[in-house]
C-alpha cells in the first residue's frame, strides 16, 4: 500500500502531448478514479504509474521514493488491462501465479497464494481451465487475481468493466469496491463511465485533453463543478446549459430575467440539472414538448422562455402530458453560473427563478 505523488508528470509522443504537466496526490489506501472521454490521457497516466511508459518529464514517488527509474516489475504494482491480456496457452492457475515467477516465493507458498487469491475473486473452481474456456466475466476475475496475487502496493485498473454486459458490470462494480475496502490496496480505476467513477471511487480525477479539470469527491464534482466541462460530463441525463448575460444583479437568459445573488457581468452560462427543476404553481412557464419514461423517473423536454429544458421527475408515471402548460422552479442553491469565456464556474454567484412570473402565459393570452 502506498501514497502516490505526481509532480509535473508529463508525457508526449513527438508533438502530441498525451498528458500535460500534472500534479496530484493519492493517499495510502484510497480508491481514486481517473475519469474522462476517450483519448484524454487516462491510460497514459496509468501506464506511467505502472512503469510501462517513461514520463517525458516530472517526478513520480511511491511513499516518498522516486520511482521514475524503477522498472515495471520492481514497482510492486498490479495492473488489469482493458483486454484482460491473459496468456491463452496457460491454465487459470498458471495465469494467476505468473507474477510470482519473478519473485523469490517458495513453491508451497506460491501454490497457497494462487488458491487464496482465486478464492478472493471466486474463481477457485476454474483453476485448471484455460482462458478460452471462460466467460468474459470469469476472465475479468482471473485478470484481477493475477494483479492481486503478489499483494501490490498499488492496483491499477484500466477500464476493467467495459467489456462486460450491463448486469455483470453492475455486480463487478460492487465486488471490486468491496475487495478494495477489504484489502486496503491503493487503487486507481480508469474509466470513461461517470456512473462507474461516482459509485466506486472515494475521489475522482476528471481529465480532458491531457489536463486535469478537477479533483474531488463525486459530490464535489456533481455539486460544485469547477468548469463547464465537468458540469457537462458528470450527471445523467445531462445538465441544461443556457447562455445568458449578467448585468446589474440580474441574468438575462432567452426572454427571461432571473435574479442573481453575487456579482457577475458579461456573458455567462447558466447550468441547471434536470433533477433540480420541479413542477410548481408559478416560476418559469413552459410547454411540454416530449416525454421519455425512464423506469422510476420521467424525462421531459420542455419549451420555456429560457430555452428548451430537460426536466427529470422522480415518478414512474408522468404527471403531465405532451402539450401541457406548466411552471418550473429551481433553488438558487442548485443553480450553477459559469463565465462564458473562461468556462470556469463563478463560485459565489447563483441564479434564482422568478416567483409568480408568467411571461409565456401573458404572451399566449395577448
Ligand atoms: N503509443 C502512443 N503513441 C502515440 N500517441 C499515443 C500513444 N498512446 C496514446 N497516444 C495518444 O495520447 C493521447 C491519450 O491517449 P490515452 O492515454 O490512451 O487516452 P485514454 O486512455 O484517455 O482514452 C491520445 O491522443 C492518443 O492518441
Ligand atoms: Mg484508455
Q: What is the pLDDT of residue 359?
A: 45
Residue 158 CA to ligand 2 center (angstroms) comes to 7
Ligand 2 centre distance from Cα of residue 8 (Å) = 21
258-to-162, 239, 242, 251, 330 alpha-carbon distances in Å: 42, 18, 12, 5, 11
Domains held by the chain: number: 2
148 and 81 within one domain: yes
Are 71 and 122 in the same domain? yes
Tens-place pLDDT, residues 311-346: 999 999 999 999 999 999 999 999 999 999 999 999
Give the span between the Cα atoms of 191 and 186, in whole angstroms. 16
- In this structure, what CATH number is given to the domain that contains residue 339? 2.40.50.140
Nearest CA among 123, 153, 118, 150 for reference residue 137: 123
SS (H, E, C) the chain: CCCEEEEEEEEEECCEEEEEEEEEEECCCCEEEEECCCCCCHHHHHHHHHCCCCCCEEEEEECCEECCCCCHHHCCEEEECCCCCCCCCCCHHHHHHHHHHHCCCCHHHHHHHHHHHHHHCCCHHHCCCCHHHCCHHHHHHHHHHHHHCCCCCEEEEECCCCCCCHHHHHHHHHHHHHHHHHHCCEEEEEECCHHHHHHHCCEEEEEECCEEEEEECHHHHHHCCCEHHHHHHCCCCCCEEEEEEEECCEEEECCEEEEEECCCCEEEEEEECHHHCEEECCCEEEEEEEEEECCCCEEEEEEECCEEEEEEECCCCCCCCCCCEEEEECCHHHCEEEECCCCEECCCCEEECCCCCCHHHHHHHC
The residue whose CB lies within 8 Å of the most ligand 1 atoms, and thus the one to mutate among 11, 16, 52, is 16
Can you tell me which atom of ligand 1 is nearest the CA of 37? Answer: 22
Cell match 440539472: residue?
273
pLDDT for 51-98, tens place per residue?
999 999 999 999 999 999 999 989 999 999 988 899 999 999 999 999
Residue 358 confidence (pLDDT):
46
Owning domain of residue 161 = 4-229
Residues 201 and 85 in one domain: yes
Q: Are residues 266 and 348 both part of a single domain?
A: yes
User: Within 10 Å of residue 199's Cβ, how many Cβ atoms?
Assistant: 14
Residues 125 and 118: their CA atoms lie apart, in Å, by 9
Last residue of a domain, one of 229, 249, 274: 229
Cell of 59: 517526478
- Which among 229, 263, 293 is the end of a domain? 229
Residues 314 and 219 in one domain: no
| CATH code, domain with 88 | 3.40.50.300
pLDDT of residue 361: 44
Considering the domain architecture, whether residues 113 and 192 belong to the same structural domain is answered as yes
- 271 and 145 in one domain? no
Residues with CB under 6 A from ligand 1: 13, 16, 18, 36, 38-44
What is residue 216's predicted lDDT score, i.e. its pLDDT? Answer: 98
Same domain, 206 and 138: yes
**Taking the model in full, what pTM does it have?**
0.92
Q: Do 254 and 220 share a structural domain?
A: no
Beta bridge partners of 269: 243, 338
Q: Are 188 and 26 in contact (CB under 8 A)?
A: yes
Distance from Cα 139 to the centre of ligand 1, integer Å: 25
Distance 229 CA to ligand 2 centre (A): 19
**What is the β-pairing status of strands 211-216 and 203-208?**
antiparallel
CA 257, chain centre distance (Å): 34
| 74 and 180 in a common domain | yes
Q: State the cell numbers at 152.
A: 501490490
- Is the domain of 220 the same as that of 289? no
- Report residue 362 as a C-alpha cell: 401573458
Q: Are residues 251 and 143 in the same domain?
A: no
Q: What is the pLDDT along the chain (366 residues), one digit of tens a residue?
A: 799 999 999 999 999 999 999 999 999 999 999 999 999 999 999 999 999 999 999 999 999 999 999 999 899 999 999 888 999 999 999 999 999 988 888 999 999 999 999 998 899 999 999 999 999 889 999 999 999 999 999 999 999 998 888 888 898 899 999 999 999 999 999 999 999 999 999 999 999 999 999 999 999 999 999 999 999 999 999 999 999 999 988 999 998 999 999 989 999 999 999 999 999 999 999 999 999 999 999 999 999 999 999 999 999 999 999 999 999 999 999 999 999 999 999 999 999 887 654 444 444 443
Rounded to an integer, what distance in angstroms lies between the CA atom of residue 255 and that of residue 302?
15
Ligand 1 atom nearest the C-alpha of 207 is 22
Last residue in a domain, options 229, 255, 283: 229
Amino acid at each position: 500500500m502506498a501514497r502516490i505523488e505526481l509532480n509535473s508528470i508529463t508525457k508526449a509522443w513527438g508533438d502530441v502531448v498525451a498528458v500535460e504537466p500534472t500534479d496530484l496526490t493519492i493517499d495510502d489506501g484510497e480508491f481514486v478514479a481517473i475519469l474522462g472521454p476517450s483519448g484524454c490521457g487516462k491510460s497514459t497516466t496509468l501506464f506511467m504509474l505502472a512503469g510501462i511508459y517513461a514520463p517525458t518529464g516530472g517526478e513520480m514517488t511511491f511513499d516518498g521514493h522516486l520511482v521514475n527509474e524503477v522498472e515495471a516489475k520492481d514497482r510492486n504494482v498490479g495492473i488489469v488491462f482493458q483486454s484482460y491480456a491473459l496468456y491463452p496457452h496457460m491454465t487459470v492457475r498458471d495465469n494467476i501465479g505468473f507474477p510470482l515467477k519473478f519473485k523469490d516465493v517458495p513453491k508451497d507458498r506460491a501454490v497457497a497464494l494462487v488458491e487464496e487469491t482465486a478464492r478472493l475473486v471466486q474463481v477457485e473452481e476454474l483453476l485448471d481451465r484455460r482462458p478460452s474456456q471462460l466467460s468474459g466475466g470469469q476472465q475479468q476475475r482471473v485478470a484481477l487475481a493475477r494483479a492481486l496475487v503478489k499483494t501490490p502496493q498499488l492496483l491499477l485498473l484500466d477500464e476493467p468493466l467495459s467489456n462486460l454486459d450491463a448486469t455483470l458490470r453492475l455486480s463487478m462494480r460492487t465486488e471490486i469496491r468491496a475487495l478494495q475496502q477489504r484489502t486496503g490496496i491503493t487503487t486507481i480505476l480508469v474509466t470513461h463511465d461517470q456512473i462507474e467513477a461516482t459509485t466506486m471511487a472515494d475521489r475522482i480525477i476528471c481529465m480532458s485533453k491531457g489536463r486535469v479539470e478537477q479533483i474531488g469527491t463525486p459530490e464535489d464534482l456533481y455539486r460544485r463543478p469547477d468548469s463547464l466541462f465537468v458540469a457537462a460530463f458528470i450527471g445523467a441525463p445531462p445538465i441544461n446549459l443556457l447562455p445568458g448575460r449578467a448585468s446589474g444583479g440580474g441574468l438575462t437568459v432567452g426572454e427571461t430575467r432571473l435574479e442573481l445573488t453575487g456579482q457577475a457581468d458579461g456573458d455567462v452560462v447558466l447550468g441547471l440539472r434536470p433533477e433540480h427543476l420541479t413542477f410548481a404553481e408559478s416560476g418559469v412557464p413552459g410547454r411540454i414538448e416530449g416525454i421519455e419514461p425512464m423506469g422510476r423517473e420521467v424525462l421531459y423536454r420542455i419549451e420555456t422562455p429560457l430555452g428548451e429544458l430537460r426536466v427529470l421527475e422522480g415518478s414512474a408515471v408522468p404527471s403531465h402530458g405532451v402539450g401541457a402548460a406548466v411552471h418550473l422552479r429551481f433553488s438558487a442553491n442548485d443553480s450553477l453560473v459559469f463565465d462564458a469565456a473562461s468556462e470556469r464556474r463563478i463560485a459565489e454567484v447563483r441564479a434564482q427563478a422568478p416567483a409568480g412570473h408568467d411571461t409565456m402565459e401573458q404572451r399566449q393570452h395577448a
